[in-house]
Structures are given as structure tokens and as C-alpha cells.
Amino acid sequence: MSYIELHANSAFSFLRGASFPEQLVQVAAELEMPALALLDRNGVYGSQRFSVAGREQKVRPIIGAELTMEDGRVLPVLVASRLGYANLCSLLTQAHLRSEVKGECAVKWEELPEFAQGLVALFGNSALDDLLGSARVSRVGESVPLSRSLKRSFRRDAETNTRDACATRSSEDRAQCLIDAFGRENVYIEIQRHFLRGEDRVNRVLVDLASKFRLALIATNGVQYAKPYGRQVLDVFTCIREHTHLDLAGKLLTQNAERHLKSDAEMRAIFRDLPDAITNTERLADRLQFSLENIGYEFPEYPVPDGHTMNSFLRTMVLFGAQQRYESITKKVKRQLEEELALITRLGFSGYFLIVWDIVNFCRENNIMVQGRGSAANSAVCFCLGITPVDPVTGASALSRKFTGVTANTARP
Amino acid sequence: MNAPALPIAPVVLPARMAKQIERAKETERILSILHQWGIHTLGQLAALSRDDLAARLGMRAVEMWERANGRGERILKLVSPPESFIESFEFENEIETVEPLLFILRRFLQQLATRLNAIYLVAKELRLRITFADKSHYERIFKIPQPTNNEDILFRMLHTHLENFTSKHPIVAIELEAQPSRSVRQQFGLFETALRDPVQLHETLARLIGLLGADRVGTPMLEETHRPDAFRMEPFAWEFRHPKPEIGHSERSVAKSRNPVALPLSFTTGSLGPSRTGIFARDDEERERGVCDSTGVRGCVPLRRFRKRKKATVLLENNRPAHVRAAEVRAGLAVEGTTMRQDGPFPLSGNWWDERAWARVEWDVEIENGVIARCHCDQDGWAIDGIYD
């Protein structure tokens, strides 16, 4: 079984990652890594580009995110299923909506059980107690400052008292909380080795936790750049994030350039005393079969009168609109409408067109200026529904061109 | 429809200025009335009746009448221009040796000291500016630890600096400026220590700086960097306990003296506070006690650091130090032998953006004689950083 990197930040972790998803995938392909997980901070912004690049380079993309918790700790989660992706997006959306500062986000520990299904949590050094200094040892240059973490903790304590047990208790209690929320088989102890003084002690604590709670160990490298030279970009990003410059950044910068993608052989040499931590990465990756390709997005349904389906109702409304718009429905008009309706039905866009039609009607009734745009301007269906005022029959339709070869996930009029 | 008028924001003038404007308007109004009366000269104004003028035109007109009759008084205030203590000289011939320069400087100091003495001031700072034949300049400021007008002391200060001064181009002009200050009187407490002769110390330091370079004399300050044992030298700073700290020493000195991060002056061997060890532990208890990472968490094994570095010869086996040999690092203590245990490597690097770029790989090794040492390999080869107590 070969090593798979299950914890990588891209440049979409704003100022915390130095490589684009495509660069990470390319290097993973060079290292013959069968899969790679992208866990950007507080978002899945890079997952689309990551997935496309993964398909091209034949590296299976695994989606996840690093969640900033309300006490400043960071919880990496991996998406195992479509439900997990939905839960992750819900968690992130709620946390971002709650935040008063743009770009900041704080997930509550008490929210996890509700949204844990379909997700796999990694319990690593950033989830340990601050007393161990783990955050500062292992995440040099990118962890939350202790003071800010404590402030948040105090504020949270004042607000929620003992309600939030995970945040206030020890590492063991926090591990137990994650097990309760995600299930034992969905919590992994994450170990990283960057050749830093003090990290062995943190890792010993993590190994002890794994043995006490019978959790599986996985090795990751906490990747922040594809190649070692990416460290320089990361240092500059750190300066930008901390509003300082290189000469004054001091210990905010990284100590070495070890947070790059490493090969199976390199990681096996680093974790030669914990071979299971390497083999578990592939076992876990096998479980994480979700990809954006099988996201299965469906447009919302539009309520139609009894006896109608969305397709039939759309056809009715289009033909009714055609009678209003055209003096006489010529063969050319009828052919154009039939072609477009067939395409819309095939792609399952009927509900979407009806929703847009409803929005346009609402705007008209309430004296709100409204106008269709883009390729919709060249659609006879849109013209008949009153979404656009342009008669496309006199010219060629761009709608069929737009929809050719696309799926319902990616195309909308 | 008429376009709305653009609002003009009201301007609030200071009260004093508003009063002056009012006064000017009043004067203008009186003058226009006087012109209407046919009064066009001062003589005609002086010839008018004071009381009638007061009754018709008010007190401002009376002020003007009094001034026209020579009765008004306006007291002059003496404003003396700020005195500058600058002496300068342009040489007819370009100067290439220091002797004529010193000759001129001594003359400058005599003149400056005389002028300062005359107004009971002393010099707290000298600024020397030298102009070269290529129009470039050299400027240096000499802080005087204890302000004085003593020509000899001031001259020695300049002389010490210029002894080691070299330039590519000959000198064409020189300028010396003294910053005046009130003379200092101080009385130390019974248990306070004070420099017996600050000037002498300053002069000695100046000589040291001349011999060693400015970056090698001063107070060592720890640098906030991952580079182990990195420090820089800051110029010495004194803080005299004066009631008014601005007299007698520079603001810079005060600022420096407030900086609490000065490195203890232990230039031989010594620990720089908590060490950063990842050293192996023999058992759990020792592990608890022994680990002290860069965050300075509980339990430390102090590192006795060697300054300067002790060169070592290290034999590697499977890329790990297997045998270490260093010359006698301390009286009676040698770091030599086969390593029993190794912890590492700890690669470190930094300053990749400038010419001070550095990189090293550290190891902690336990040698067969029981010594636990920290060694590293960098561009200069292997060396022993220190030993753990």
C-alpha cells in the first residue's frame, strides 16, 4: 500500500498555502501518488480546480477542509460521501454567516454532532492542549496566536458556560467528544513530522491517545506547498497575513522547508517506527470515494397545478406565451421552440426555467426592473416566457450551442 | 427647475484671527468715512477734536488719532535669532592627511567652547561633516556622555574617531556643529553606582569600535529568529538618574535603556535561558523533565553553549552521527567518542531573502562517556554547539 497525502493546503487557504491546486496535483502525479486530499482553511474554494486537475493528471481528488473552531483550534475533516459534502458546506456556511469579520469563521464544537455524518475527522497536533505548545511547534507561522485563542476561549466560556465540553476539557475529553460526534471509525489520529524540536513529545501524546481510544493513526505532512522552494512564498504570505516584513517576522516564519509533498519512500523512512500510519492513509483514502463528479445536483422543484409535470407546464406556458408574442406561430418558430424544449427536458432544467419565469413575473408585478442576460437573450423559450424581450427566431440560437456537451451541474441559462 | 445652490461649508476661524479681521474691517470703515469728510492726511486727522471723533467714530478712531498725534505707544519685543554653534572651513588645497584636519578641528573647538562658556552652556553632541572633492559628504554625530566644554575631551573624541578614518577622495571642506545643553549637576544616592568618568569610558569604547568595528562592540541583544544563538550588538546606553532625563543624554539612550531584552553578559560559556531541546529521554520521568521545546514549556535541560563554536569531526553511519570528536571544549572536558544515541536531524534555515542566508542541521548526541552534546553541520562543517547539563 502506498502513502497518500491526506492533508494539503492550497493557495485557496488564504495566505496559508503557497501552491495552486493544479501544482499540488502535478507534483502528486510526479510522485506517483494515487490520490491527494485538499483541505483548505474554512472553505472548499479550491476543490473544483483541484478536481479538474486531478482528473487530468489521474490523481484521485479527495475533498475536505480545515475548520477553525470557536476556541481557535483547527479541526481537519475529510469528505467521505455526498451527505458529508453537504454537511461540510452547511457547517462552513453557518460559521461564515455567524462571523462578523469577513474571512473569519468559527465552528462551534456543539454543532459537530449534527453535521458529522459523512465526514472523517483528523485529531492532530492543533487539537491538543496549548500547554503542550503543539500549535506553535507544529504550525509555526500559521496557527492562531495563543492570546487570541485564549480571548476567544474566555469569551466562549462566558457565553456558553459548560455547554461546550469539547473546547474546555483536556485533549482526552476532546478526543472522546470527536468520537461521540463522528463515531470511532471516523476519527483518526494525525501525526506529522517536520524535524522540529519538541514535536516528538506532541506525537507521543497523540500515539498514547490513539492507543487509549483504539483509534487508527495516519501520517500526514501538513502540506503547504508542492515543492520545497514554496516555503519562500509561504514566508512572504505569512508576512502579509501578519502585517510585517521578512526582516521583522522572526519566529513567525517557518523553521525549515519540510511541508512539501513527499514521496511514499520518504514518508516511510520518516515514519519507519509507525508503518501502520502510512498504510492507514491508503485504507482511509479508499473509504473516501466522494468526488465533485457525483455531486448529483438537482435544481429545486417548481410547484405546478394538478395534472401537470414541470415539463408539461413549461410547455403550456411557453406555447401560451408564443401566442402572445407572435402574430402567427410559423413552422420556424415552432421548430425552434420544440428544439429548445426538448433540450431543457433532457437536461432537467424545466424547474429552473419556471423559477426564473416566476421571478420575472414577480418583478413585473412589483414594478422592479428585470432583464434576462447572456445566452438566455437568444432563447425562444425565454422570449415566450417574457424573460427576454429579444425575438431570437430571426437569428441563430445560442442556447443549443451553450448546452451542447454539458451536464446539469455546470450549465444554466 | 432651478438647480439647488451648492452648499458652502462654514469655516470656523480661530477667535484671535476673527478679532483681527473685525479690527481691519473697522479701520477700513473709519477710513472711508474720513475720506468722505475730506480727511486725507495724518495732519488733517491729528487736527480733529478727540472727543468729537470718539463720539462719532468710536474708540478705534481714537486709537488712530492718538497714533497720528504721537501719543500712542507700541512696545517693541526683542526677538533674538536662535544661536547656532557651527564652525566651517573650506580648504584652498585638498587635504589628504589627518593632521591639518585635526588642527582646524581644535581651533573650531576652542571657538565653540568660548562661545558656549559665554552663555553658560555646554556641548551635548557634536556633528562632524566632511565634504570630499567628489562633492560627497561624510557625517557623524558624536554623543557626549557627559556634556562638557572641555576642549581636550572633545578633541580626543574627534581624534580617536579620525585616527582610523579613511576615504577614497581628498577633503575640501569641513564643518563642526555643537548642540548646546545646560550643564549637568547630579548627586548620586548612597547605594547607587555611577560611572566615575563617563567621558573616559566613552573614549575607551570609541577606541574599541575603531579597532574592532561598530558591529562588535556594545550590548548583545537576542534576535527574534529561528537561528540558534543569534544576537546583534546594540550600542551601549546609559541612563543617568536626572530629574529631567532629557538633559545630559540622548533620547536614544533612554529608549535603549528601556529595552528589557538585553542578553546577559556571559561571553564565555553560559545558558541563554531555557534551551530548546528535543533531546532523547531515558525514561518517562526524565522525558517529562527533559523536554523543553521552543515554546519554553515545562521542565528544561539547560544547554551550556560554547562561544565561539567548537569545531568537531563527526563520522556518519547511515547519515547519523556515529562518532564525534572535538578538541577540549572546556578544561578537563572533551567531547569525543562513539555516540550511544542520536536525536535528529533538525534542519533549520532562514534569511533566504538576503545575503545573511543560513542553513544548518542539528543533532543531539549522547557520547559513550555520558556527555550529551548538541552538534550541527553547516557550510563551515561540523561543530559542537554546547553540552546539556
Burial letters B239-255, b for 16+ CB under 10 A, else e: ebeeeeeebbbbeebee
Unique residue bearing C-alpha cell 517576522: A249
Q: Taking residues A309-336, report their average pLDDT.
A: 90
Over residues B95-103, the mean pLDDT reads: 87
pLDDT at residue B290, rounded to an integer: 41
Q: Tell me the average pLDDT across B136-140.
A: 90
**Per-residue confidence band for A214, with pLDDT thresholds at 50, 70 and 90:** very high
Q: CA of A103 to nearest chain B CA: how many angstroms apart?
A: 28
Residue range B274-296: average pLDDT? 40
Q: Catalogue the long-range contacts made by B35-38 (C-beta closer than 8 Å, 24 or more residues apart).
A: none
Cell of B188: 548620586
Q: Which residues pair with B287 in a beta bridge?
A: none
Q: Do A136 and B294 touch (CB under 8 A)?
A: yes
Contact of B220 with B233, CB cutoff 8 Å: yes
Closest to A89 (Cα-Cα) out of A63, A110, A113, A109: A63
Q: How far apart are CA A4 and CA A267, in angstroms?
A: 10
Does A210 share its domain with A346?
Answer: no
CA distance B345 to chain A (A): 6
Res A328 pLDDT > 70: yes
The pLDDT of residue B331 is 64
Give B32-60 pLDDT, tens digit per residue.
999 999 999 999 999 999 999 899 988 88
- CB atoms under 10 Å from CB of A337, counted, come to 22
Return the sign of the alpha-carbon dihedral for residues A43, A49, A54, A60.
Answer: positive
Angle (CA) A389 A393 A399, round 5°: 80
**For position B264, what pLDDT does the model report?**
40
CATH number of B86-181: 3.30.1490.100
pLDDT at B28 over 80: yes
Q: B343 phi and psi, to 5 degrees?
A: -130, 125
Q: Could A232 and B353 be called an inter-chain contact, meaning their C-beta atoms sit closer than 8 Å?
A: yes
Cβ–Cβ gap A137/B295 under 8 Å? yes
**CA B264, CA B269: separation in Å to the nearest integer?**
11
Both A289 and A184 in a single domain? yes
Residues A142 and A272 in one domain: yes
Q: Name the one residue in this structure whose C-alpha cell is 553606582.
A: B193
Write the ipTM: 0.70
pLDDT band at residue A260, thresholds of 50, 70 and 90? very high
The mean per-residue pLDDT over the stretch A355-384 comes to 86
Closest of A6, A7, A52 to residue A291, by C-alpha: A52
Number of folded domains in chain A?
2
Query: Computed over its alpha carbons, how large is the radius of gyration of chain B?
Result: 37
- Minimum CA–CA partner of A252 in chain B: B225
H or E segment to which residue A338 belongs:
helix A331-347
For residue A203, the model assigns a pLDDT of 92
Measured between CB atoms, does A196 come within 8 Å of chain B?
yes
Share of chain A above pLDDT 70, in %: 84
pLDDT given for residue B194 in this prediction: 64
pLDDT at B118: 84
Q: Give CA–CA dist A191/A202, Å, rounded.
A: 9
Pair A46, A157 in one domain: yes
Give the phi and the psi of residue B136 in degrees, each rounded to 5.
Answer: -80, 165
> SS3 for A53?
helix
| Chain-centre distance for alpha carbon B325 | 45
Are both A275 and A398 inside the same structural domain?
no
Lowest-pLDDT choice from A282-286, B172-176, B207-211: B207-211
Residue B259's pLDDT band, with cuts at 50, 70 and 90, is: very low
* Confidence at residue B270, expressed as pLDDT on a 0 to 100 scale: 35
The verdict on residue A408 lying in a domain is no
Q: What is the pLDDT confidence band of residue B190, given thresholds at 50, 70 and 90?
A: low
* Model confidence at B252: pLDDT above 70: no
Distance CA A241, CA A222 (A): 19
Q: Which runs of consecutive H residues, i.e. helices, occur in A139-296? A: 146-160, 165-168, 171-182, 199-213, 230-242, 246-249, 264-270, 275-287
Interface test with B, best of A197, A205, A229, A233 (most B CBs within 10 A): A197
Chain A hits for B293, CB-CB cut-off 8 Å, are: 133, 137, 196-199, 201
| Average pLDDT of span B61-76 | 85
Q: Are strands B372-378 and B358-367 parallel, antiparallel or unpaired?
A: antiparallel
Helix (H) or strand (E) holding B87: strand B86-95
Q: Is the pLDDT of residue A139 over 80?
A: no
A132 touches chain B (CB under 8 A): yes
Q: What confidence category does residue A395 fall into, taking pLDDT thresholds of 50, 70 and 90?
A: low
pLDDT score recorded for residue A102: 78
Grid coordinates in use for A180?
A: 461521540
Stretch among A3-12, A154-163, A242-251 having the lowest mean pLDDT: A154-163
Coil, helix or strand for B49?
A: coil
Q: Distance (Å, rounded) from C-alpha A302 to C-alpha B188? A: 91
DSSP state of A255: S
Instruction: Report which of residues A88 and B74 the model is more confident about.
Output: A88
Question: Sheet harboring A216-219: ordered strands across?
Answer: A5-8, A35-41, A60-68, A74-79, A119-123, A187-191, A216-219
State whether A318 and A245 are in the same domain.
Answer: no
pLDDT tens digit string along B317-365? 988 999 998 876 666 677 888 899 988 899 999 999 988 899 999 999 9
Judgement on whether residues A331 and A387 belong to the same structural domain of the protein: yes
- The domain ranges of chain B are 23-68, 86-181, 198-257, 269-388
Domain range holding A192? 5-294
In a domain, A302, yes or no: no
Identify the pLDDT of residue B127.
92
Task: Assign residue A127 the CATH number of its domain.
Answer: 3.20.20.140
Statement to judge: residues A241 and A123 lie in one domain: yes
Q: How far is CA A343 from CA A340, A349, A384, B116, in A?
A: 5, 9, 16, 99
User: Are A250 and A382 part of one and the same domain?
Assistant: no
Pick from B287, B294, B298: CB nearest A197: B294
Residue A183 at interface with chain B, using a CB cutoff of 8 Å: no
Are A12 and A106 in a shared domain?
A: yes
Answer yes or no: do A283 and A394 share one domain: no
First to last CA, chain A: 46
Give the C-alpha distances (Å, rounded to integers) separating B144 from A45, A73, B246: 62, 53, 13
d(CA B138, CA B262): 31
Residue A392 in any domain: the answer is yes
Using beta carbons and an 8 Å cutoff, which residues of B are at the interface with A?
223-226, 276-278, 287, 291-298, 344-350, 352-354
Which residue, A294, A321, A342, sits at the end of a domain?
A: A294
Is A409 among the domain residues? no
- pLDDT above 70 for B134: yes
Lowest pLDDT segment from A25-29, A261-265, B139-143, B289-293: B289-293
Name every chain B residue with its beta carbon within 8 A of the beta carbon of A251.
Answer: 224-226, 294
Q: What's the sign of the alpha-carbon dihedral A167, A170, A176, A178?
A: positive
- pLDDT band for position A193 (cuts 50, 70, 90): very high
Taking the C-alpha atoms of residue A210 and residue A274, their distance in angstroms, rounded to an integer, is 12
Residues 6+ apart with CB under 8 A from A334: none
Answer whether A136 sits within 8 Å of B287, measured CB to CB: no
Q: Kindly tell me if the per-residue pLDDT of A17 is higher than 70.
A: yes
Taking the C-alpha atoms of residue B85 and residue B381, their distance in angstroms, rounded to an integer, is 56
Tens-place pLDDT, residues A97-120: 988 887 788 899 889 999 999 999
Same domain, A121 and A246: yes
Q: What are phi and psi of A264, to 5 degrees?
A: -60, -45
Q: In angstroms, what is the C-alpha Rg of chain A?
A: 26
- Asked if residue B343 lies in contact with residue B351, where contact means CB atoms within 8 angstroms, the answer is no
What is the DSSP annotation of A3-36?
A: --EEEE--TTSTTT--S-HHHHHHHHHHTT-SEE
Kindly report the nearest CA distance between residue B366 and chain A, in angstroms: 16
Residues B293 and B278: beta-carbon distance below 8 Å = yes
CA-nearest of A44, A82, A86, A49 to A63 is: A44
